[in-house]
Structure formats: C-alpha cells, structure tokens
Structure 1
Amino acid sequence: MDIEILEGYNHEMGIEMLADGFVASAISHGARCSMVLYERNVKNAVKVLDFPLEYRMGDVWNMRVKVDDIKALKTMEYAFFDGEHIFADPCGKSFSGRDAWGKLDQVHNQKRSPLYQEDFDWEGDKPLHRSESETILYRLHVRGFTKSASSKCVQRGTFAGIVEKIDYLQTLGITAIDLMPCQEFEEIMMPDRRDPYGNDLPTGKINYWGYTRACHYAPKASFSKKRPRNAVNEMKTLVKEMHRAGIEVIVEFYFDGSEIQTYVLGALRYWVREFHLDGIHITGRAPLELIAQDPYLKRTKIIAQYYPQDIDRSGHLSTFNDNFLVDMRKFLKGDEGMLERVMFHVQDRQGGIWPIHYMADVRGFSLQDMVSYDIKHNEANGEDNRDGSDYNYSWNCGAEGVSRKKGVLNLRKKQIKNALLLLFLSQGIPCIVAGDEFGQSRKGNNNAYCQDNEISWIDWKLSHKNEELLKFVQKLIAFRKAHRAFCAKEAPRLMDFKGYGKPDISYHGVNVWQPRTEHWRRQLGVLYFGKYNEDQSIYVLYNMHWESHKFDLPHPETNQKWHVVIDTTQENGFLPLPLPVGAAISMPPRSIKILVSQEAFNLVKVTKVPKRKKLLTIEDGNMKS
C-alpha cells in the first residue's frame, strides 16, 4: 500500500474517512507527533506516519493521508505517538484493548481505535422528541441491569441485554431510559498516587459506576457482546429498538473538568448525531452554559444538576438533584415543618426548566433501603464504613435491615407506596431507578460505586416475589398518564385564571380551603379541579402523622360524589372498585388516599405497541392480560 501525506484539516479531532484515505487531527504539546498504524489483533505497528510540522496549528497536528488501496485500511487500527509515549485518540469512535470487563491483565494494554466503522441501517429512525410533560424516566446501569443470571437474558450485562428487556419496560409504562456512563472508561481502579517508576498496580477495586475520565466518543467495548464485538452498532441497535417501542434513550456523560470545551461539545454533538439520542445527562464539571445554548442541541433533552441563573430557559433543560428527595423523605418519615416544601414540590416547574424528581438514586439508599435502614452499611467497600453520606433521611420502620416482624414489613410496604405517590403525583418528570419498582435492596450500602456483584446487579427474581409492588407501580404510572393534572404541559398557576369557579390547583388542611402549615402539622389536601384538564376533579389527601386524622372534603361537582380509588393502607394500593365517601373521611396514620369524582376511574390502557408481546391493561383498578 502506497501512502502519500498531504495538507488536510479536520472539522473535529480524530479521524475523518475519505474516499481515498483519511484526514487525521491530534492534540500534542511536544515537538513532534506521529500516527501509529496496526493490523487488527497484531501487537507490533506496521506503519508510523509523522505529522508534518508545517501542518501544525497551535498544539493541533493535522494531515491528510492518501492511499492507493483503500480496502487495506479496513483492517487497521491506530494510536498516536508524542515522541515519548503512545497514547489513544481521545476522540476514537471505538476501541480494542479493553474488550473484557474488569480483566486485570489488560490494564496496561494499548488502547487502539479502528480506522473504519461498519455501516449501520437506521431504517429511517429519528429521535422521538417526546414532551417533557409525558416523560417517565427509568435510570439503569448497562451492565447491572441484566448481568444477573436471574435476568434470563442471552447477552447478559450488555447493550443487547437491555434490548431483550424491552417488553418488560413497555409493560412497566416508562417512556425513557437514562443510561449511566457507558462511554469507554477505565473500570479497573489504579492508585491515586502514581508510582514514579511506572510500576502501578491495580487497587483491586472496580469503578462500577463509571464516574471517571473517559474517551467520550466511544461506547464501552465491554458493554457489548463478545461475538461479533461491535459496541458502536450494538448501541445503535439499542436506540433503534427502543425508539421502535416508543421509548426514548438518554445517556449520562461524566466530565471531570479537565476536558477542553470543544471536546465536550464535539462528543455530545457526535452522540446526538450518530446515535440518535433523545437526551444527554451531564454530571461532573462541564460548560453547561455552552451546552444549553448550543444550536445543535436545541431539540435534545439536556439534564444537569443545576444551571447558571441567567441561562436561557427555552424548555429543553431539566434539573437532576436531591432537593425533591431530601424534602419528600423528611415529610415521609414525619419530620416537622415540611408542609411548605411539599406544597412547593407538588406544583414546582422552575420557570421553564423541568425538575426531575426521584425518591431514590444510584447514589444513596435504594427505595427499599430507605424504609429498611437508619444508617449506611458500606463495610463491603473496604473503607471501614467511612465512605458515603451520613445523611440518608431514611427511617427503618422499627428494625434495622432485614426483618421478619409482620408489623415492620407491613409498615415498610405502606411507606414505599407513600413514597411512590409523592413522586408520581408531583409536577415535573418522575424518575425511578431500575429495581426499585420491585423492592431491590443494596443491603444498606449507600455508595456502591465499587460493587460489581449482587449488591448492584438487578435481582429479577424479586419481580415475582414482590409482584404486588410491581403491579402497583404499573398501575400508578398508568394513572398518572390518564390524568393530565399531574403532568400538564403548562405550569399550574394556583388560581382560577379561567373563571371556572375554583383554582386549577388548591391546597387544604383537615378543613377545606384552610391550609395550615404550622411546623407541627403533617396533613395536607390537594385539589385538582378537573375542568382545567378536561378531566374529573381529583383530591389527594396526605397524612404523614403517626396518628389518625379526620379530613373534611370539598364539595364535589353537581350530582357527583367523591370516590376513593387509591389507599396506601390497602394491601394492593388500588381499590378493586371506587369506594364512595361522604362529606368527611378518616385518614389512618402515615397514609395517602386519592379521591376522584364519580366518573373519574374509567378504563385506562397501557399504550399498545405493534410487534411486541402481551401488554397489561388496567380495568376498574385490576391488572389484566
């Protein structure tokens, strides 16, 4: 193969293939830079191409490589050389050398990128562009979601394994998945202090979560099946199949702040363009203002912990932080002085930025552990239980950890249902972590960053053991979808702005139209007036006190009565038939009830998607196949 080196500049860092060769761009601070070519699966280089000094611009080295046999490049891989060290292309689109997850003997392998990427047929696929008001987020770890043998997946722990669970996700009712970092990161943890002689040895821990430096352009090779190994096309297949099922795909990116801004924007644009992402979830330190204002990303959902105060609030931005979790967990366990915060979260829309709400995240206690542990139990992390937050805002319901006491277990079940109602009845975007819908426990570990085992892997046997909870979540998601009051496109105004006679949303105490927020009160009523959403009126009653309280009810519409449809004191949560009530109702300790007008609880069906297996429906509060 004859090679000719010419002047050429790339629009982005890395490699751009041409009909007769390629253009290469690399960043190097040294006096020279070279491109090292390898044959696939061959250790030694077959060619070293020096970047011409005259094509250097600042610290960016450029060249165009023209060849007479383009087919010869299809089996080649490359890395860069700065005169002292061979280094991987940070903008490589995929990598070899890290194919096996957690394999210690590959930690010193040279990461190399193929010059060519295989073609992929998208079959007309495009991002779904679903409204934030319709979004129900499901957060998962690519490996942990199906790695357990209990998943019964063929391709466990991979992008393909998630595809095998699409029918489950459809039945659950979620509308988007949020994948934890799945770019090419180093999961084998090395010492913080490097050996000056280069004799670094692994610490023995695995960075399971992926919050570390990464090559952000490339999907993680070890998250793809072994044969044939093609992480890029496997990730694309995941997105295409999710879109076919009506589910959006959001991917989390962690940046540690050392990356240059053009690299960050380039990586995000590349994933949105090449992988048809519906959203990007930013964690760590990144140029959020530039990302939010980037015209290429204006129709892409962007999620971050916080934004600058003067950011353009154009509607595609969402926040992901613990504010909702902290306040609602405090209210759930009966802390004083929380009613005003609860009232805020029930209707909060943050002036154009959509808040994402959750009662549990991967960092911290799971939903089951939130009602099972008072303190963290991180001994398995090997840091003498010093790591992880000491503030969990949890309550173990009377016994620490696993318990056989019937009273404790029943209270925990009720508190989980209470927590789920607090989540799904609030404005904003609800988010649940994979496994929380059927009681996944992490054994009290609130910082399972290094637990690549049953502590973090989803135990799918729980979906059968705790089927009652799973069905409650399915019904609750369907209930939210059926009643726009909880997911309206327009933010509530808390006033009668259309002259219907009542506000769109109003707050009440044990006496109607008299919300009382003294620090010792734990009772709240929320009335959603149906005319504002062309729906029946809905009244939600919260009693987080450890004693019963009697609530007066607002007058229903003419010729209608209030009916109880959800009661967290009941075993199934949803009543088999709506229960009519009079002018007042008794609320047992630590309970939530939902009342609707006489015609409120009609047939609700989970959206059916063609070419998929059986879906569940909800009719009169009962799950049916």
Structure 2
Amino acid sequence: MTAGRAAPLGATFDGDGVNFAVFSENASRVTLCLFSKDGETEVARLDLPERDGDVWHGYVSGLRPGTLYGYRAHGPYRPDEGHRFNPNKLLLDPYAKRLTGHPVWHDALMGYRVGERGGDLTFDTRDSAPFMPRCAVEDPTFSWGDDLHPRRPHKDSLIYEAHVKGLTMRHPDVAEPGTFLGLSSDPMLEYLTDLGITAVELLPSQAFLNDRFLVEKGLTNYWGYQTIGFFAPEPRYLDRAQIAEFQQMVARFHSAGIEVLMDVVYNHTGEGSELGPTLSFRGLDNKSYYRLSQDARYYVNDTGTGNTLNVDHPMVLRMIMDSLRYWVEVMHVDGFRFDLCSTLGRVGSGGFDRGASFFDAVRQDPVLTQVKLIAEPWDIGPGGYQLGAFPPPFMEWNDKYRDTLRRFWRGDPGTVPALADRLTGSAVQFDHSGRPATSSVNLLTAHDGFTLEDVVSYNEKHNDANGEQGKDGHGENFSHNLGVEGPTRDKAIQAARVRRKRNMMASLLLSQGTPMILAGDEMGHSQSGNNNAYCQDNEVSWIDWSAADPEFLEFTRTMIAFRKANPILSQKLFLHARERALDGKEDLFWRKADGATMRQSDWEDPSLACLCCELRTASDSPDYGTSEMAVFAVFNTGPEQIITVPEASAGRYWAWHIDTADPDRDVTPIEGATVIVPDDAVAVFVLERQASA
C-alpha cells in the first residue's frame, strides 16, 4: 500500500489499482480489510497510511473491479461523549458503489453487549464480519451512446410513483420481475408510454437495511426507507449483481422519453438509535455523522427512526452532494424526491431554515439545478410541517391537496373554498418567491396511505398484518366506503366507488400543478385496507395485473390525454382572476350553477356542493399564440344541477368532453345556454372553433 490520494472519496479504480479514501474526524486509525473473491475469507488488513485533514487514504496496486472490501475504525469507545469506535466491527464504505447483500442479523453486529447491564455503554469484542455484506470495487463506466436526459418541462410532467418490485412482480410478461431490468422491460415501457407517463418516481432504490424487528416477525422492509449505502443500488433489485443494470434501466426509460426520479433518504440512516447496529457511519465517526442530543450518548430523532444525519457537518453535507451528483452524472437519473426534507433544512438545534446549508448547496450546484427536486415538506420534529416554505427550484408533495380532494368528494361541508385553491395550484402556499404553479405536486394517494381503491372502499385502516396490533399508519384518511367496509358484490356500491374514483382522478388531472399518480391506482389496485404496507413484500403490495379494471384504466388514459391536449390545465404561472399580459382579459372565473360570479357569501356557504370554474389562456401560454382558448369545468358533489355555461364568443362553441357519470360519452356540442350535470360528477367543456365554410 502506498499513500494514494484524499480525493475522490470511496474506492476508485484507475486502471492499475484502487485508491481508497474515507472520512473520519475522530478515529485514531482506519484499517482496510480485503476479502477473497467469494467474500468468505478476510485475506488482508492494511492500515490506511496517510491522513489529509480528516480523510484517510491509501492506494493498492493490482486490485481490480470486483475486489471486496470493508473498513475497521480505531478510536475511543465512549458513548457518553458521542464516540462509538469498535474495530471488531466490519464497516461499510459510505461511498461504496455496490454492496454484495444485506447484514445477517446477529448480536455481533452491535457495538455493545446485548442484554448485559450497562446496555450500549458496554463493549462487544466479537467480529461482525461473518454477518456483514462486503463492499465491491466498481468501475461505473457505461456505454451510454446517445442517451440524453429528456428534460421534460415541469408544466408537462406527469409523475408515476412506483416500487421496483411491486410494479413488476406479478406482471405476466416481465421476464425479470422485481428488478431494475424488469421495470424497464418492453412490456413495462409500452404500458407506461401508452398511459402517458412522463416520469417514474422510484421508491428508495439505494441500498437499504432489512430491519431486525421485521425479520424476526417474518416480514420485510419493503419500502426501503432505511438507507445504508447512498451510492449503491439496492442489491435485491439487481438480477446479475451489476450496477450497469441500473444504468441500462435508465437508458431504456430515456429512450421512451420517460424521466427517472429517485426517492432518496438523506435525513437518517438504517443504523437506528444508540441500541442499533454498528454497520458504517456509527463506527466510522458517530459524532460527526449524526446529530447528538445534549447528552451525547443519545441521538436527535426528528425523523422518528432513531437517528438524524448531521447535515451541518461539512463532510456529511459533502457526502450527500457527492451522492446526488453521482446519481445524475454517472447513473443519469433526472431528479430526486427527498424523504422528510424538513430535516435537511434544520440548522443546529434550531428549527427549519429555507436558507440552510443543504438548500444553499443545492441551489448553487450547476448539476443539481438542472434536474427535478421534490421535497416531502415535513418531519416529526418541532415545527417540522413546512408545506410551501421550501426555496425554488424545489417542488413539494402537497398533502393539503390530497386531503381536500378526498374531503370534497366524500361530501364534507364547507370544502369548496379549499377545493378552489387546490384546483389552481395552492397559491396560498406556493405563490411567492417567484415559484411557479408547478411547485405543487398534487397527489390523491402515495405509497404511504390508502390506495385510491381503498379510499373509496374503507372507512378504517386494516393493518393487522403488520404485527403492530393495528396501531401503525394514519388514523385519519378522509376515506369513505360508500356503505360496506371492504369488497362487496353490491353492484350499486361498486358503481358508486368507481364513479368517485373517476371524479377524483379527473380532478387531479384538471388541476394546476404537477400531478402524481400512485402506481396501480389507474387499474384499481387494493391493499385490503392496509394504509402502511411498508413491511408487506407480498401480494398485499404487489400489483395484480390480472385483476386490473380495464374501464378505469381507459378513463385514466383518456384524462391524461385530455390534460396534454389542453395545456391551459398545466400552466407555469398561477391563475388569479385578474388581467393577463397577453390580451388584457381575465384568466380565471368562479361561477355558481346559474352562471353568476361567486360572491364572498357564496364561498362561506357550508352547504355549497357545486363549483364551476372557467379557465382561459394566461400570459405564458405560447401554445396558443394570441388565440384565446378556454376550459369550463364543473365539480358537483351534490344533486343533479342545471348549469349555465359561459357565453361563447363569435365563431366559437362549447363542447362537452368529459363526463364522469358517463365516461363513454362522445364529445358533443352544447346547444342552448344550459346543461344538466348529474349528481356526484365532474363535467368538462372546451371552447371550440367553428369549422370554416
């Protein structure tokens, strides 16, 4: 071993050998462990010979990609001071590009002696290597050919949140189900392009931990929110243990014009609390990697997972930024959804700060400012709910949109004003700091919670299969079973459920903002009322393609096509019922059923159950030039209504395009000044140009 270099961090193959570099501010010695090709035998222990600042490094000539390795870190074991060094524990490289598998649960993975007096203050001398996966040296070079990021404009985006395994595992025509290759197979690409999806948002696909308490109950960490490798693809999704499989997936999605977004978890790691295992960060430098309480033995737990990454530390921030750039530049992904992103905006022991170092680092980065960035705008810490508070260019998951749409279509009184705000991009939250209307990621459902089918089928959650006595998961889902809890053979209830789903899906795709659909919702996927299926790696979560509802799938496809054909529904600028620059005309009108303009007293009427909205082109709509276009939409959760349609201008007429009460309705011109909109329905009309003689 020779001195090597302090940069880049990680294991880097240069054609002749491998340079190893790892950060630890408080270690006294860092040892590189090399393993046999099968990973069974530790063949060498080499102390990294050089330290530049807090980066330990060394170079070993002759090593090739595929070399298996790990680290051991020496230093004080004083948990009460925040130090948990234990050289008996094999540690994963935080920058490892591939892991060979997952830890096998054993008490030797703990830095302390489990079950003994003193708990985590004790010191365990057993070697954890027999139970640990290995890091693998990788050369990430890939023949990308003419691959380019699709770079879809935000206003044209339609996101599809999907699980790599759950979407493909039961597909009859996918040859490699449950893998990155299966997800990008021909049947999947054909399905997604036909549906009209522009971006897939993958649930966590970086290497993650299978929690011990789940394994002992015969369950699995299915969602993946316990990351242990921020540069490594999740091993179980690799069919041939090659990181090129992820790159191939991305290239195939790009060839179909579909972007790949990753759900990433930089707010905590899978090592848990002080009683968790020593797998990587804790053993390399616990005091640097984690935010510790005033009593340094314990962790700040703003994430609810036992620990919180210390983003205030420059080397931890560097790791996150290096990871993000790696996935963009080397793996070609197109953006990220940040789990519990409020945590990344916490400064020191204070609260959320939109000027935190993480946000500043991202906003000045020439690579990351070119991709899509989506925040989950909350955590469980004090003041953690921050919807609308993130700086541009971040978009944000909008749970207020979700709850408002569910409550309106459930028939809750007094929800019309909130519905109006959600339909027009939630301007109250997002129209500031130059943020566009696309900042609001509108969702009806997500992985966390009920599926759309379950929103209309269950009043209560049914999570007994999770082994937590049904205490886990959200208690308030704003759902309604329409008469029977769960599946029913009652044709009337079945029809009412499908109609409500059409109403909700139509509303989503008629709203300003960026729509997101949960994979499976478009075909009626149910989780049998489980609203927290994080541990259900089975038929509960896997989408059953054989049970797909073809009619609702076709309706969803039709609504997506309608949105694309009418870009007035997905404008960048907010609509505010005021004059626009294009032609000095107003762009938004709220009307009552009789055509009268909504007054304040109307908005305050809790019995109001029908809202009429007229949208007209805004100043940033080059799609239309100077030719005015308009859409008139009626959202009726009450009884049948006689609706007065707006007056058509000369040479124009209104045509009825969408009717959720009759999804097979042909496009028909409106004759006369009124139409009858059925009860519990959405109706949409488009201002058409008269055919020239």
Q: TM-score range by the shorter chain?
A: 0.7 to 0.9
CA contact (8 A) 2:209 2:228 kept: yes
Measured at CA, do residues 486 and 376 of structure 1 come closer, stay the same or move farther in structure 2, by a change above 3 Å? same
CA distance in 1, matches of 2:388, 2:489: 49
- State the match for 2:568 in structure 1: 485
Once the two structures are superposed, the pairs formed by residues 604-615 of structure 1 within 5 Å of their partners are none
| 1:293 equivalent among 363, 366, 377 | 363
- State the match for 1:608 in structure 2: none
**3-state DSSP of counterpart to 1:156:** coil
Task: Give the share of equivalent positions with the same residue, in percent.
Answer: 28
| 2:136 equivalent among 108, 114, 122 | 114
| 1:133 equivalent among 136, 141, 155 | 155
| Deviation larger for 441-450 or 347-356 | 347-356
Shift of 1:587: 2.3
**3-state DSSP of counterpart to 1:343:** helix
CA distance in 2, matches of 1:37, 1:506: 69
Q: Verify: 1:557 aligned to 2:649, yes or no.
A: yes
| Letter aligned with residue 319 of structure 1 | E
- State the match for 1:55 in structure 2: 51
- State the match for 1:527 in structure 2: 614
Instruction: Please give the TM-score of this superposition, normalised by the length of structure 2.
Output: 0.78
Shift of 1:504: 1.3
Q: Verify: 1:177 aligned to 2:186, yes or no.
A: no
| 2:5 equivalent among 4, 8, 25 | 8
Q: Verify: 1:543 aligned to 2:534, yes or no.
A: no
Shift of 1:312: 4.2
- State the match for 2:547 in structure 1: 462
CA contact (8 A) 1:536 1:600 kept: no
**3-state DSSP of counterpart to 2:330:** helix
| Letter aligned with residue 262 of structure 2 | V
How many pairs align? 568
Superimposed CA distance per residue, residues 573-624 of structure 1 (whole angstroms, 9 cap, x where no aligned partner): 14224252421122222111011234499xxxxxxxxxxxxxxxxxxxxxxx
Q: Verify: 1:330 aligned to 2:330, yes or no.
A: no
- State the match for 1:593 in structure 2: 683
CA distance in 2, matches of 1:455, 1:374: 18
Once the two structures are superposed, the pairs formed by residues 135-150 of structure 1 within 5 Å of their partners are 135-148=157-170, 150=171
**3-state DSSP of counterpart to 1:235:** helix
Measured at CA, do residues 291 and 600 of structure 1 come closer, stay the same or move farther in structure 2, by a change above 3 Å? farther
CA contact (8 A) 1:34 1:50 kept: yes
Q: Verify: 1:26 aligned to 2:22, yes or no.
A: yes
**3-state DSSP of counterpart to 2:404:** helix
**3-state DSSP of counterpart to 1:576:** coil
Once the two structures are superposed, the pairs formed by residues 336-351 of structure 1 within 5 Å of their partners are 336-348=413-425, 350-351=430-431
| Deviation larger for 154-163 or 511-520 | 511-520
| Letter aligned with residue 475 of structure 1 | T
CA distance in 2, matches of 1:491, 1:600: 29
**3-state DSSP of counterpart to 1:456:** coil
Shift of 1:491: 2.7
- State the match for 2:68 in structure 1: 77
Measured at CA, do residues 400 and 31 of structure 1 come closer, stay the same or move farther in structure 2, by a change above 3 Å? same
Once the two structures are superposed, the pairs formed by residues 110-509 of structure 1 within 5 Å of their partners are 110-117=132-139, 119-148=141-170, 150-164=171-185, 165-187=188-210, 189-191=211-213, 202-225=216-239, 228-230=240-242, 232-255=243-266, 256=268, 257-258=308-309, 260-284=316-340, 285-287=343-345, 288-290=358-360, 292-295=362-365, 296-306=367-377, 312-313=391-392, 316-348=393-425, 350-351=430-431, 352=435, 354-463=439-548, 466-498=549-581, 500=583, 502-509=585-592
Measured at CA, do residues 365 and 253 of structure 1 come closer, stay the same or move farther in structure 2, by a change above 3 Å? same
- State the match for 1:98 in structure 2: 102
Give the CA RMSD over aligned residues: 2.5
| Deviation larger for 483-492 or 156-165 | 483-492
Shift of 1:22: 2.8
Measured at CA, do residues 373 and 484 of structure 1 come closer, stay the same or move farther in structure 2, by a change above 3 Å? same
Superimposed CA distance per residue, residues 117-157 of structure 1 (whole angstroms, 9 cap, x where no aligned partner): 26410012122211100000000001111112x44311010
CA distance in 1, matches of 2:416, 2:163: 34
Shift of 1:299: 0.9
CA distance in 2, matches of 1:119, 1:579: 57
| Letter aligned with residue 326 of structure 1 | D
Shift of 1:308: 8.9
Instruction: Please give the TM-score of this superposition, normalised by the length of structure 1.
Output: 0.86
| Deviation larger for 209-218 or 15-24 | 15-24
Superimposed CA distance per residue, residues 341-388 of structure 1 (whole angstroms, 9 cap, x where no aligned partner): 111111125231511001111111100111111111111111121111
- State the match for 2:295 in structure 1: none
CA contact (8 A) 1:305 1:319 kept: yes
Measured at CA, do residues 538 and 7 of structure 1 come closer, stay the same or move farther in structure 2, by a change above 3 Å? closer
**3-state DSSP of counterpart to 1:216:** strand
CA distance in 2, matches of 1:407, 1:268: 50
**3-state DSSP of counterpart to 1:528:** strand
Measured at CA, do residues 578 and 398 of structure 1 come closer, stay the same or move farther in structure 2, by a change above 3 Å? same
Superimposed CA distance per residue, residues 198-234 of structure 1 (whole angstroms, 9 cap, x where no aligned partner): xxx8343211111113211100111011xx321x111
| Letter aligned with residue 293 of structure 1 | R
CA distance in 1, matches of 2:561, 2:519: 18
Measured at CA, do residues 453 and 108 of structure 1 come closer, stay the same or move farther in structure 2, by a change above 3 Å? farther
Gaps of 5+ in 2: 74-86, 110-127, 269-307, 311-315, 346-357, 378-385
CA contact (8 A) 2:98 2:137 kept: no
Measured at CA, do residues 413 and 448 of structure 1 come closer, stay the same or move farther in structure 2, by a change above 3 Å? same
CA contact (8 A) 2:221 2:535 kept: yes
Shift of 1:453: 0.8
- State the match for 1:621 in structure 2: none
Shift of 1:61: 1.5
CA contact (8 A) 2:206 2:227 kept: no
**3-state DSSP of counterpart to 1:73:** coil
Measured at CA, do residues 459 and 600 of structure 1 come closer, stay the same or move farther in structure 2, by a change above 3 Å? farther
**3-state DSSP of counterpart to 2:131:** coil
Measured at CA, do residues 600 and 469 of structure 1 come closer, stay the same or move farther in structure 2, by a change above 3 Å? farther
Superimposed CA distance per residue, residues 375-416 of structure 1 (whole angstroms, 9 cap, x where no aligned partner): 111111111211111100011111111011111111111100
Q: Verify: 1:87 aligned to 2:91, yes or no.
A: yes
Shift of 1:558: 1.6
CA contact (8 A) 1:358 1:423 kept: yes
CA contact (8 A) 2:651 2:689 kept: no
CA distance in 1, matches of 2:142, 2:582: 55
Shift of 1:490: 2.8
